[in-house]
Each structure stands twice: as structure tokens, then as C-alpha cells.
Amino acid sequence: MGKLLTVDVISPLLGSFDHCSHCQVFLNEAGIGQRIHREDFEAFPEETKAEYERLVQLLAALTRRFQGRVQFRVIDPQTLEGIWKSLRYWVRRYPTFIIDGQKLSGWDEGELVSRIEAHLGVSVAR
């Protein structure tokens, strides 16, 4: 087996804000912590949630396809690392994939697969 290829994926992540540690423990013990997190997630616009789900499904499919030869690191552009990578690679739209220092923005799955295969040095059966 060859070297593991790491692909950075710069894309906004959807999540929920945790409360202070004392409050979070209380909310969890009261059985409402998960409900609050679910309500936070549901507050996002439908278009944003659909795009997030599309990314999750794409990465799951690619992970299965490349069977342990590719590791995907999802980086939120609102984190320090995400800001740095967004500036370094001039990211203008999401998702953006960084494959061995080369940027690919958008949803072109065929191009993404081709670039990953090229860096792996093999053609993966489709």
C-alpha cells in the first residue's frame, strides 16, 4: 500500500454552540442537551443544511472509493487554520479541496477523483 494522501477540504461546518461546561452538564443531565443542539442545527437555512449534507455524502463516498488511501480533513474557514488556508490558496467558494498544494473549488466530482487518482499514481476502478 502506498503513501496516504491527505486532502484538505475547506468548507463551513454546521454545528451547535456548547454552553459553559457547568451549564452543558446540567442540560445533558436534564436530558435536553441533545434537543438544544438539534434546535441549533435546525436554525440554519435549508440551503445551507442541504449543501452540508451534500458534502458529507460526497466525502463518505470518496472515503469508501479510495479505501484508506485518502484522508479528508474538513477545515472550517472560520477557524484560524481555515482563515490561513483560505488566504494562502485564495479560496473564494466552497467547498475547496487542497490536493498536494493544488486548489480545486466547487462540486466537480469527476475532476476531484481524477486529481486524487493522479496523486495516488493509480487508476481506481469506478
- pLDDT one-digit tens code per residue, 65-102: 999 899 999 999 999 999 999 999 999 999 999 999 99
Q: Say how many domains are in the chain.
A: 1
pLDDT at 31: 61
- CATH classification of the domain holding 69: 3.40.30.10
Any domain includes 89: yes
Cα radius of gyration rounded to whole Å, the chain:
17
Over the stretch 34-54, which tens digit does the pLDDT of each residue have? 665 567 677 888 998 899 999
**Contact (Cβ atoms closer than 8 angstroms) between residue 77 and residue 94:** yes
Measured over the CA atoms of residue 116, residue 120, residue 123 and residue 124, the dihedral's sign is: negative
Q: Rounded to whole angstroms, how far apart are CA atoms 121 and 96?
A: 22
Any domain includes 29: yes
Any domain includes 126: no
Q: Is the predicted pLDDT of residue 33 greater than 90, yes or no? A: no
pLDDT at 1: 54
Any domain includes 125: no
Query: Which secondary-structure segment (H or E) carries 5?
Result: strand 5-10
